[in-house]
Structure 1
Amino acid sequence: MNRFKVRAKISGFLILLQHGMKGRRTIISEMNERGRKKEAFVFVIDFDTTNVKLFRPDETDKIWWQANNRSNFAQPPTDEKEIEWETQPVSFGHYKKGYDLVQHHIHNGDTYLLNYTQPTAVQTNLSLEEIFHHSGARYKVLLKENFVCFSPEIFVQIDAGKISSYPMKGTMDASLPNAKERILNDSKELAEHNTIVDLIRNDLSLVAENVTVEKFRYLERLKTNQRDLWQVSSKISGDLPENYTEQIGDIIFKMLPAGSICGAPKKKTVEIIKAAENYERGFYTGIFGYFDGQNLDSCVLIRYIEKQQDKLVYKSGGGITFLSNAESEYEELVKKVYIPVFKKD
């Protein structure tokens, strides 16, 4: 039996529960109504779009967040204690079982790009709150007693009716010789990036007109607690209708799940992801966003640590194509398990 999600307003925020299209339509309508009234809100949506939370921007007892230069928390003084950081990724054998299934579907023509992820157990002397405050990132989210995320990846931004997306595909250790040239000239990375740019362009075309690729494959350097990384991104933009604020919920949900963290074609690829990964992503690879009543800033929930009872689990992965190598992809998954720690001058 298909049980509908139900809506519950508690202290100004809304939670979706259970499964069903009726619940999803309710949350979309709620977001549209807030957009019509030009009311600010923040939101968190899980990968499956079955768990959605809306908050007032100032609900600091439930969520801390930062979206570029906007935030709802005060940065406390951070101590200089030595950070303990140990990781226990899944074995290569375990990883390869899912990887081989993905490759089977790629060679069968069911998908041509799939974002394959796995969990890594983490031991550290930092709490989720301390990780949040120690991390330097464009976007930071702490859902109390649930997860912390320090994401470098924009989902979409809306500024005065213009919507833009910045898909990130391609990561390389910046300390390697000629790392910038190597990542830009890597045929596998180029094919993966081309696919994602095409997918995001199609996604934006569902909600906007005059969609164009403004910048293609530019580099950003990310600092972490273990190493610096080069990350490759592109910028794609389009024009929204005049009354877009009244459709803000529809606009967001039409583009989910985010193309960069599932693959193409979306529907079939998500089915393969669930079979290959064999674990629950939860809020990982979902999205977070801040709507100020007119403009929107949002991110993809990657670089993500989840609290599971008394344990911490870091979830990471990467895009798989027919050109992929299992050992290299496993190494990338492991290298993405880091904290982008603030370093004082």
Structure 2
Amino acid sequence: MFSVNHQKFMEMDELSLQKVPYFFVIDFLTENVEIYLENEIEKSGLLIDFQTFSTTKNKQELHKKIEWKSFPETLESFKSGFDKVQENIRLGNSYLTNYTRKTRIETNLTLEEIFYHSNAKYKVFYKDFFVFFSPETFVKIIDGKILTYPMKGTIDASLENAAEALKNDKKEKAEHYTVVDLLRNDLSMVADEVKVDKFQHIDFIKTQQKDLYAMSSEISGNLKTEFRGKVGSIMKKLLPAGSILGAPKPKTLEITLNAEGYDRGYYTGVCGWFDGENLDSCVMIRFIEKENSTLYFKSGGGITHMSKLEDEYQEMKNKIYVPIH
């Protein structure tokens, strides 16, 4: 259904086995895999700001009042894809499907300004084509141990007892359990002794529009011998990321492509920094893309049999924000 870029994954393996540092960017369908050696990053037009690695020199001041408008599709339009997803869940073809949309936005911020002034764990500005400010780690590899931190479930932080409500919400809980289970299985393909270290951890995310709570867990394992030092092989095995696709993966991918009816491109792909020893990578969410001169924000959420149309529509809209404050 989609072509995997085998050659590039092999290149990633060669570099990581030789302990050569590099940055990589992989799109949602693993068709485009880009590799940048450390000395190539600057001239490539990429700006990167991870917790462990940054190419940004100095923070620039922002001397303007932020203008921000979004133009979400109608509930009816959102419903047509939502219904396709729910129908497939009802038929047993999927038990969790991530359904995403693209929303036109207008702002007086440039993509580069959004990159510089957003607060997030992972930020990348990609050649004036897209920018993202992601809170979600994909996998980390530290001394032969692989860790993943699936994030599923968000709530408006201004609601009463929001963090507790999120933890105890039946639908969000079921969704979180499913993703943890899926990623535990995924990790087992490349690691032994896989276990859940932290479950339903609540993170606070501050934004210009509204504050949110998000729920995540931590899963870890010891890399199998045949995957040690092979970052490309690990990525090839684990992608697309379970948290932004659903389960079971092959059928859910089919459902997603049919229901969404637009090209995700790099959105919900992954990118990462290999420092010669260890790896830190993230899922490319909270994502703004430029098409000609129009900006689009891509966002969505997980759908289960318990999902309610209005709630999912609202969640998709809640995620259209910039974390600048």
Q: TM-score range by the shorter chain?
A: over 0.9
Are 2:19 and 1:38 equivalent residues in the alignment?
yes
Q: Does residue 101 of the first structure (1) align with residue 69 of the second (2)?
A: no
Match of 2:223 in 1: 240
CA contact 1:161–1:244 (8 Å) conserved in 2: no
Measure the CA separation in 1 of the matches of 2:152 and 2:10. 33
User: Secondary structure in 2 aligned to 1:70?
Assistant: coil
* Structure 1 residue 174, shift from structure 2 partner: 0.5
Alignment of 1:249-264 (within 5 A): 249-264=232-247
Deviation at 1:74, TM superposition (A): 1.3
What is the match of residue 26 of structure 1?
Answer: 7
- 1:7-55 deviation per Cα after TM superposition (whole angstroms, max 9, x unaligned): xxxxxxxxxxxx755xx22111101110111000001100010011111
How far residue 180 of structure 1 moved from its aligned partner, in angstroms, is 1.1
Structure 1: 5+ residue stretches without partners: 3-18
Show the 5 A alignment for 1:215-234. 215-234=198-217
Identify the range of structure 1 (52-61 vs 232-241) with the bigger mean alpha-carbon deviation. 52-61
Q: For 1:227 and 1:234, how far apart are their aligned partners in 2? A: 23
Code of the aligned partner of 2:259: A
> How much has 1:243 moved relative to structure 2?
6.5
Q: Which residue pairs with 2:308 in the alignment?
A: 325
Instruction: Say whether 1:271 aligns with 2:254.
Output: yes
Aligned to 1:51: 32
Q: Report the Cα distance in structure 2 between the residues aligned to 1:217 and 1:293, rounded to whole angstroms.
A: 32
Secondary structure in 2 aligned to 1:111? Answer: coil
Is 1:154 the counterpart of 2:137 in the alignment? Answer: yes
When normalised by structure 1's length, the TM-score is 0.91
Measured against aligned partners, the alpha-carbon deviations of 1:169-205 in whole angstroms (never above 9, x if no partner) come to 1100101111111111100011000000000000100
SS at match of 2:265: coil
SS in 1 for 2:173: helix
Aligned alpha-carbon RMSD (Å): 1.3
Report the Cα distance in structure 2 between the residues aligned to 1:299 and 1:85, rounded to whole angstroms: 26
The TM-score, its normalising length taken from structure 2, stands at 0.97
Q: Deviation string for 1:250-291 (max 9, x for gaps)?
A: 011100000000000000000000000000000000001000
Does the CA contact (< 8 Å) of 1:207 and 1:240 recur in 2?
Answer: yes
Query: Could you say if the C-alpha distance between residues 80 and 27 of structure 1 is closer, same or farther in structure 2, counting changes exceeding 3 Å?
Result: same
Which one of 210, 213, 225 corresponds to residue 196 of structure 2? Answer: 213
**Letter in structure 2 aligned against 1:327:** E
CA distance in 1 between counterparts of 2:289 and 2:240 reads 19
Moved segments of 4+, more than 4 Å: 242-245
Q: CA deviation at 1:77?
A: 2.3
Corresponding residue SS for 1:283: coil
Displacement of 1:244 in angstroms is 4.2
Pair 1:67-2:54 in alignment: no
Partner Cα distance (2:174, 2:78) in 1: 23
Assess if the C-alpha contact under 8 Å between 2:201 and 2:217 holds in 1.
yes
- Which amino acid counterpart does residue 125 of structure 1 have in structure 2? N
Q: CA deviation at 1:112?
A: 0.4
Aligned to 1:77: 60
CA contact (8 A) 1:155 1:300 kept: yes
Preserved CA contact (<8 Å) 1:212 1:238: yes
Q: Secondary structure at the match of 1:64?
A: strand
Where do 1:113-192 residues align within 5 Å?
113-192=96-175
* Aligned match of 1:338: 321
Q: Does structure 1 conserve the Cα–Cα contact (< 8 Å) formed by 2:112 and 2:128?
A: no
Q: Distance in 2 between matches of 1:182 and 1:89?
A: 26
- Greater mean alpha carbon deviation, residues 54-63 or residues 260-269: 54-63
CA distance in 1, matches of 2:30, 2:82: 25
Q: C-alpha distance in 1, partners of 2:92/2:297?
A: 31
Does the 8 Å CA contact 2:67/2:107 hold for their aligned counterparts? Answer: yes
Gaps of 5+ in 2: none
